[in-house]
Structure formats: C-alpha cells, structure tokens
Amino acid sequence: MMLFWLLLPPLLMFVASFSQNIWARRLLPISSFAVLIPVAILFRLPKPYALWRDYLVADDLNTYILLLASVVGIGVTLALLTLDRHVRIGQKAIYRFYRFFGLFWVGLSVSILANHMGIFWIGLEMATLSTVYMIKTNHTPAAHKEAWNYMIVGAIAISLVLFGIILIYASAKPLLGEKAMLFDALLHSAHRIPSPFLFEMGFALAALGMFVKMGFFPMNLWLAHIERAAFYPVAALFSGILESGVMAGFFRFSQIAGTVNYDHLFLFVFVYTLLTLFIVAFLIFRAKDFMRLFSLSGVEHMALIALFWVSGGTFAALLHFGAHAFLKPALFLSTGVLESGGRYRFAGALRGYHGVRGKLFWFLVGLFMLAIVSLPPSPMFFSELYGFGAMIDNAKASHHLLAMLGAITLLLVLLSVIFYRFVAIYQSMKYEGEETTKIVYASEVAALAIFALGLVALLLPGTMAFLKSIG
Amino acid sequence: MVDFLIGLFLATLITALFTTRLYRLLFWYALNSLTLGLLALTIGSRLHDRAMLLSGALTILLKAGVIPYILKVLSRKFELVRQIPPSIKTQYAIMLVPAILVFTFYLAEPISHMVQGNANYVAVSISSLFLSLLLMIEHRNVAPKIVGFLSMENALFLLGTTATEGMPMLVELGIFFDLLMAIVVINLLLYREEAQS
Amino acid sequence: MSALLLYFLTIALMVFLAPLLLSFIKGVKMWLLYKRPVSITQGYRDFAKLLCKESVISREASAITRVAPFLVLAPLVVVLFYLPPAVKGAYYVSFVDAFTITGLLALSTFFLMLLGLDSASSFGGMGASREAFISALVEPAMVLTIFGVSMMAGDLGVGQAGVNLAEHFPSEHMASFLFAAISFFILLIAENGRIPVDNPETHLELTMVHEAMILDITGVYLALIESAASLKFVIFASLFAGLFLPFGPELAWPLALLVFVGKLFAVALAVALIEVNTAKLRLFKVPNLLGIAIVFAFLSLITFYVLGA
C-alpha cells in the first residue's frame, strides 16, 4: 500500500501525459508534491520497513536517498512548466517527455528502494531506456546522435552491472540459495561467502558499470556531450535522480565488498576515483559552456562521494551526496535561463535580471555556484572536511599514511584547480560581457527556492544527527 | 551436449563478428539465441527446473524468432544500410579475437575452483561479453550496434543459466521485459529519425 | 576379411568414388538451380574421353609439362594410404602426422603451380600466383587444425587419431572439437577450390585459380590433373569423415564401408549446398575467410588447453 502511494505521482504523470489537456500539466507539480507525504511517513515508520516482501525494503539509507530524489523530481516538474518558453519544443514532444519522465521516476524509485539486486537492475534499466527518449525530445541531429550514444553506452554499462550481479549471485548461491540476491542477506553473511574471488570479480564488473554510467574515467566527456545535446531538465534528472539511484546501488554493493575484502575495495575505488578526478579537473578547466561545466563537476562530486564512502566517511559521503543532489539539479535547471536565446557564453550570464524574481534568481544561482565549490557555509564544505578526515583516519589504521597524505595533497590541488575555475567563471558571469534582458518565470524561482531550502535543511543539527546515525 | 551447444554459441558469435551483411548478421544472432535457448532447455531438463525450461522456451521464441524478425522488418521500414563492413580490418580482428579469448580464458581460470558445475561456462560467457562489445565497437552503423547489444544480453543470459543454475524467475522475467522495452525504444528512435529527414 | 585386404579395398573404393563425388556436387547444384542435372557418371565419361584424346603441348613448354602432371598426382596417391581407416580392424599407417600430410598436399600444389608457370601464358602465371597466395594461408590453419584434433585424440599420427576418436569419443572436448571441425570445413572448401574461394566451373579470367593453371593442358595430362583434383577432394572428405564424424567403423565391414561412403556423400552435399547459397569471394577477400579458419583453429587449441573443454 505504501509502495502504491510512493509510486502514484510518477504513475499519475505517466497517465496524464496521454491527455493533451493543459490543466493536466499544471496540476502535475501539485501531485508531485504529494510524494513527500508517503516519504515523510516512511521516515517515521520503524526501519527496516518491508514495502514488498523481501524485495523492496526501506531503511534509513534509502529513505534518505528517496527523499533527495523526490525533491529533485518535484523541482524538475516545476521547471518543466516553462520548458517551452526557453527552448523550441513541440507540444507532442512535451507530453512524450512527461510520459518517459514518469517511467524514469518509477524505475528509479524502485531501484532506490530495492533490496534485491535483480530488481535494482530492472529499475535501473527501465530508467536508462526511458532517458534515451527524453534525450531525443530535442529535435536536433546532435541530440539524435547522442540519444543513440546514450542507448549504446548506457546499455553496455548496465549490462556490465548485470554481469557483476550474476557473478555475485553465483558466488553466494551455494551459501544462501535464492536469498543470495538480497542485499541484506548478502551483507549479513558476506564474510562467509565461499568464493571471494568470484564475488570480487562480480563487484568489480558491477562497479565498473556503475562508474561508466556516472561518467567516470574512460567515459568522462560522454555524459557531458549528452547533457549538452539534450534539454536542460534531462541533465537535472541525471544528476539528481539517476545518479542517486546508481549511487544507492554502489553504496550497497561496496558495503558488502568491504566486508569481503576491504583492502581490495579501497584500492580499486581509490585508484579509479583519483584517475577520474585527475582528468575531470583539467576538463573542467577547459569547459566552455554551462552544461559541460556542470556535468563534469557532477562527475567530480560523484567521484568524491564514492571515495568518501569507501574511506569510511559515511556521514561525509551522505552529506556531500545530499548537497550535490540539491545543488546540481538547481544549477542545471537554471541553465535554461542562463543560456536563454541559445547563448552559451559565460560572460554576462548573471546580468540583466530585473524585478523581484530576477533578483532572487541571480542571487540564488550565484549562491549555488559558490556553494558547489564548497565555500564555507555550504554543506559541501563540511562534508569535504569530514571526508578528508575520514581518509586520514583510514590511512592511520593501515600503514599507508604517507601515501595517503600525498594522495590528499594531489586531491586538494585538483580541487583548487576546479575552485579557481569556478570563481573565475562566476566573476565573468557577473562582471563581464554585455547585458541582455532575460526573463525568469515564477515556477523556476520556486524550484530553485525548494532546492535552497533543502540545502539549508541539510545544515540543521537534526539532519546531521540523522545522517550520522545512518553510518 | 552442453559443451557442444556452448561451442556452437561461441562459434556463431565469432562468425557474426566477421559478417558484412545485415541480414546475415541477424541470422547469426538468431542462431546464437537458438543455441542459447537449447542450452537452457538441456540444463533445465537435467536439473528438472521448470523456471529454466520456461525461460529457455521464451528465449527461443523471443530472441531467436520475434526479435530478429522485428529487426528485419524495422530495417526494411526505415531503409537501414544493409552493407555493414566492420571498421576494424579483418586482419586485425583475426589477431584481436584470439587475444580476447586467451585473455578471458585465463581471467576465468581461478574461478574454476570455485563454481560448482563447470567453470568453462563462466569463461565462455565473459569472452562472449567481450566479443559482443567488439561487435558494437567495430561497426559504425546503428543496426549492428543493436545486434551487439542484444548478443551482450545473450552472454548475460548464458552466464545466468550456467554459472548460477538459473536466476530467480522474477529477475529473468524482468530482463525479458526490459529487452522488449529496449526494442520499443529502438523503434521510437528509428521512427524519429525518419520523421526528421 | 584380412586387415590388409580391407585397407586396399577402402583405398580402391576412394579412388573409384573420387570422380563420382565431384559429379554428384555438380548434379546437386544444377538440380537446386532448376537445371537438368548431369549424369552422376559424367566424371568417368570425361576421364575416358580425355584418355582417348591426343595431347598437344605448347612449343614454349619445357620438359616440366610432361613430368609435372604425374608429380601432381603422385603425392595425393601417397596420402591416400595414410588416411584414417574406414573400418575397424583394417590396416592403417599410424605414424604419419599432420605435417607429413600437409607437406605432401603442398608438394602436389607446388607441381601444379610449376605446371601453370611452365605453360608460358599469362593466365598460367596468374593462376599460379593466386594458388600460392591461397595455399600459403591454408597451410598454417591446416596444421593447427589437424594438430588440435590429434591432441584431442591423444595421438599425433593422423591414422591413429582417427582410430582413437572412433573408439573413445572425447565428449568432454566437444566445444574444441566443434571449432576444429568448422575450421577444417573452411579449409576443405579453400583447398579444393570450391565456390567462396574459387569457382571450378568457369573460365572467367578474373576469377579462375585452378583452371587458369591448366588451361594449356590437354589429353592424358589433363585426365591426370582432373583425377588429382577429384582425389584431393576425396582425401579431404575422408579426413573430415574420419576425424570429425568418428562413428561407424566399429560396424561389420560392409556396413562400415557403407556408412563411410554415406559420410563422403554428406560432405559433398554440404559443399554443394554452400556453393549454391554463397557468392564467390573477391580474391582479396579470401584471406578474411581463411582468417576465420585460423581463428577457429586457434580457438579450438586454446579451448582445449586452457579450458579443457
């Protein structure tokens, strides 16, 4: 029953997309808001709460992630109201967009709540396939090409994940039987898995698939190009909901892998994320437009979250995750205004706003821009502090303190490259270029305000205590 | 018998790698799926596993019959290019394919002590995963990439049936569902392409 | 029956069947193309006709042209004696390995090429160079394949391998066995100049390989060359039958011979079906086909060694 209420808003969206009534569209944000009620109830319920037998189980971790995803969903629904004012899109295409957005949301809600590896995968695959069509709503040759690109590479990534899942299942089946598909059962008896090598190979393949899906090392520019070619809400969905789903899976898998063999897990993720960050930092330095800039910065943050998580900084990872899930969709949604009229340049993007809405808009966007590079009041600042602290603690426990300090120095250098670039861009947005008038709509400001509120909520002591209790 | 079918599976996949015509490629894909389905039926009847028998029958019906047919119809409808010369030259592919096979066979060697049943299946399915990746990489056209994606699905199914003696029914059905959804999405993607030009 | 008698009987049967098989392929092809098929005895008739004809030798040709046809045929006749037995209990030569057989086949090909060069026509040279090109690619795959099968059978000698396979079929090595069979079948097609590689029925200058070398040969010499071609096919078919279809020899001898003949015809039928269904490859695409053969041969070996399957 609970599950039904949780999936109702996206399903309503799916159904409403078949009627061409304009009022259906107007009402959708309200129905999306309604998703917060079951999520809030879910928070109150005793954990773990079985939503559907063993398959979908809500615990603190995925309820938190589901909340983040729901807030992003609400924000995107709000911003979608004015999509046709900023970009050229046909009426039919908008409804199609809603239809696949609904499917996407259903898939990822299932995926986030899954306690069953197979169901996790099915939800993810459904989301991937529905995204392909959302990319395609933009009727340009570039978008068409990138939709295929996403289809192919996404399919490869998702197949790798399934491959890993099957190997993990094979490794634990002699011990657990059919229960070897359940995350909690696996975690519970991870140290007794009869063939750790098989498990680790499965984990490596699954993690590789998830990393590719988030745009890590070999695929750094892939996601950026896709988000450039698609409409801006797609990018917001990617960074807010899709990566939440993938990350949720990564959290689960790495918890088990950490029990099986922590050193291997740590080394694998450490090397992978460091490599990713190294490349991404320089790609960010060369980014010429907002979409690619934000997308690459999303990759950077995902790498940091994965790194913090496996270093034992659960709290840091979750805080960073929450902050990123609010900041990045907000920035992606605001690119619709920042790049209005197809102007991709940084210079002057924050100038030319009038009226209360406009003022509020540029104030919020400026704030987000500085928050994403973790200037102090931002939750990211605290999460990075805690994260690096966790890394050093972790290194102290082992005997690689010096190597870890070196790695952290490298990391800080890379982050400062990104920091420098972002500040330079902010200044260029505010003080350079000619002034052109841009129109901001109320729904967009509302969406940004929701994200800002979420960000503030993350900083409340209550939230922090909750996040600490998860780890 | 199982060894024979698994050999046939790999053989059809390798032949598909060297194919330069779309319909031939679909034919090899169908044959590949057929051997896979027969394999599932054989193993399922040996284990008396009704779920596996069902999924084997579904595989033969869907992957060896319906999907290649749909792809053929789609390629007719949207006038896809039917000459699909691989962009990796055959000389290099001849060296690449054995290299991949040796690599994956040795990669899977430590597993042989761990999996009950036969470790070769894991090796073959990993190598067929890589070969389908190669199939996707070596073609510029869309249609062979789709076939590569589908044969990747086949490699996964092979791993699922042989290494674990059958996945839970729920997952198998979910995979089939997603496969059908993939076909629908492919159809939509192709459709828009036509509408645009 | 005594072992030696069966041995010679099998060889005689193969020699007898050789022209029949090629006519059979031709007949099946024509039948499938809705033509009136040639008589199955056409091969013998051609042979008899050629024997009666006067042989003309070009003025530019040297002594090689007189000698070479015999030397094309002779190695193949020798190979006939080394093949795996068709009947259990028959005499067989156990020690001859893959290298010897490939070498003898290459020797025959060598004299054929020499013959083509000796005719001093441009076609002969062209055909010889093409033949050299193809056979250079065939040999490694051939050695690999027969070697792989010999490993599975547990003996390097080809005859002994055939016997071992018939006595104890290695069903645990089914996968690598299959790969070797695919590879060998491609080689069979390539070495005998059947359709995807060479078309034995045309004299089109762009495509011919085998026919180009023997354009100038007439009379008895042509009869020798033609019978060499048919012997080569029967050798390959019986190698395929003996190594890759290893069933039947344990039956009573008339039945076993019957099964053997059936297998030869089955191979011929398969070749005919492939010939009808495929177009001839361009010469420079032939390496791709042979490359596939090499891949499969190699695959069979590594599957055998690494996976043991």
Interval C136-159: pLDDT, tens = 889 888 888 988 888 888 888 888
Check the CA dihedral A93-A95-A98-A103 and report its sign: negative
pLDDT for position C10: 93
DSSP labels, A211-271: HHHTT-GGGHHHHHHHHHHS-HHHHHHIIIIIHHHHHHHHHHHHHHHHHH-HHHHHHHHHH
pLDDT for position B188: 80
Q: Could you read off the pLDDT of B110-146 as tens digits, one per residue?
A: 776 666 666 677 888 889 999 999 999 888 888 898 8
Q: Could you read off the pLDDT of C36-94 as tens digits, one per residue?
A: 998 989 999 999 999 999 888 888 888 889 999 999 999 999 999 999 998 888 888 88
Amino acid letter, C225? I
* DSSP code at position C88: T
pLDDT for position B197: 40
Q: Which residues contact A376 (CB under 8 A, 6 or more apart)?
A: none
Flag whether C touches B (3+ CB pairs, 8 A cutoff): yes
Yes or no, beta carbons of B186 and A159 under 8 Å apart: no
pLDDT for position C110: 94
Select from A88, A156, A165, A197 the residue whose CB has the most chain B CBs within 10 Å, as the one to mutate to test that interface. Answer: A156
Yes or no, beta carbons of A166 and B160 under 8 Å apart: yes
Amino acid letter, A141? P
pLDDT for position A34: 86
DSSP labels, chain B: -HHHHHHHHHHHHHHHHT--BHHHHHHHHHHHHHHHHHHHHHHHHHHT-HHHHHHHHHHHHIIIIIHHHHHHHHHHHTT---B---SS-HHHHHHHHHHHHHHHHHHTGGGGGTSSS-HHHHHHHHHHHHHHHHHHHT--SHHHHHHHHHHHHHHHHHHHHHHSS---HHHHHHHHHHHHHHHHHHHHHHHHHHHH-
* DSSP code at position A204: H
* Alpha-carbon span B35 to B58, nearest angstrom: 13
For A142, nearest residue in chain B (alpha carbons): B193
| Structure tokens that stand for C38 in this block | 């040639």
Average pLDDT over residues C169-181: 87
Residues of C in contact with B10 (CB under 8 A): 175, 179, 299
Yes or no, beta carbons of A162 and B189 under 8 Å apart: no
Confidence of residue C306 (pLDDT cuts 50, 70, 90): confident
Yes or no, beta carbons of A126 and B167 under 8 Å apart: no
pLDDT for position B185: 83
Query: Above pLDDT 70, what percent of chain B?
Result: 93
A397's torsion region: left (phi>0), alpha (psi -120 to 50) or beta? alpha
| Structure tokens that stand for A302 in this block | 């995902």
Query: Above pLDDT 90, what percent of chain A?
Result: 30
Q: Which of A109, A97, A32 is nearest to A66 (CA)?
A: A109
* Alpha-carbon span B77 to B57, nearest angstrom: 29
Chain B from 91 to 120: CB within 8 A of any C CB = 91, 93-94, 97-98, 101-102, 105-106, 109, 118-120
Residues of A in contact with B111 (CB under 8 A): 195, 197-198, 201
For C285, nearest residue in chain B (alpha carbons): B90
pLDDT for position A326: 92
Number of compact structural domains in chain A = 1
How many angstroms away from the CA of C7 is the closest CA of chain B?
32
B181 touches chain A (CB under 8 A): yes
Yes or no, beta carbons of C176 and B7 under 8 Å apart: yes
Residue A58: phi, psi to the nearest 5? -95, 125
Q: Could you read off the pLDDT of C230-258 as tens digits, one per residue?
A: 999 999 999 999 999 988 888 888 899 99
Domain that holds residue A442: 2-470
pLDDT of residue B196 exceeding 50:
no
Yes or no, beta carbons of C287 and B15 under 8 Å apart: no
Domain boundaries, chain B: 2-196
pLDDT for position B115: 61
pLDDT for position B32: 95
Average pLDDT over residues B94-109: 86
Of B7, B94, B118, which has the smallest distance from its Cβ to C291's Cβ?
A: B94
For C308, nearest residue in chain B (alpha carbons): B120
Average pLDDT over residues C104-122: 90
Q: Could you read off the pLDDT of B158-188 as tens digits, one per residue?
A: 888 887 777 788 888 888 888 888 888 888 8
The low-confidence residues of chain A, meaning pLDDT below 50, are: none
How many angstroms away from the CA of A194 is the closest CA of chain B?
8
Interface pTM (ipTM) of the complex? 0.90
Q: Are C260 and C241 in contact (CB under 8 A)?
A: yes
Mapping DSSP onto H, E and C, the string for A3-61 reads: HHHHHHHHHHHHHHCCCCCHHHHHHHHHHHHCCHHHHHHHHHCCCCEEEECCCEEECHH
Q: Long-range contacts of range A393-396, CB-CB < 8 Å, 24 or more positions apart?
A: A393/A312, A394/A266, A394/A311, A394/A312
Q: Could you read off the pLDDT of A284-319 as tens digits, one per residue?
A: 988 888 888 999 999 999 999 999 999 888 999 999
pLDDT for position A121: 92
Select from A198, A203, A205 the residue whose CB has the most chain B CBs within 10 Å, as the one to mutate to test that interface. Answer: A198
How many angstroms away from the CA of A349 is the closest CA of chain B?
32
Q: Indicate the burial class of A88 (C-beta count within 10 angstroms; 0-12, 13-18, 19 or more).
A: exposed
